[in-house]
Amino acid sequence: TQTAQEGKHQEAGFSNSAYGMSKVGVTAMARIQQRAFDKDSRPDLIVNACCPGYVDTDMTSHKGTKTIDQGAETPVMAALIPANATSPKGQFMSEKQVKPWQ
């Protein structure tokens, strides 16, 4: 928060977009939630964060390069993780792959 207050957040690698920063929060929350789920005795509690990509919608003023169907592929894949899966859990997914996140 200090770099944002000083106006140096972009130099530190953070987005200047409130939307972009909210996605960082969603990804961090997925990691935190998964840690809690890992301690729960119920099987198959999984949470992941995902990015559909730059989709041609009203939100992108129809400048997105993906169709709505293409944008749905990663979220649907995340929703259909099979029972007893050990991975991905608490991860960030994009382009139908787990991506490193720091």
Instruction: Just list the catalytic residues.
Output: 19
The DSSP annotation for the chain comes to -HHHHTT-TTTTT--S-HHHHHHHHHHHHHHHHHHHHHTSSSTT----EEE--SB-SGGGTT--SB-HHHHHHHHHHHHTPPTT--SSSS-EEETTEEE---
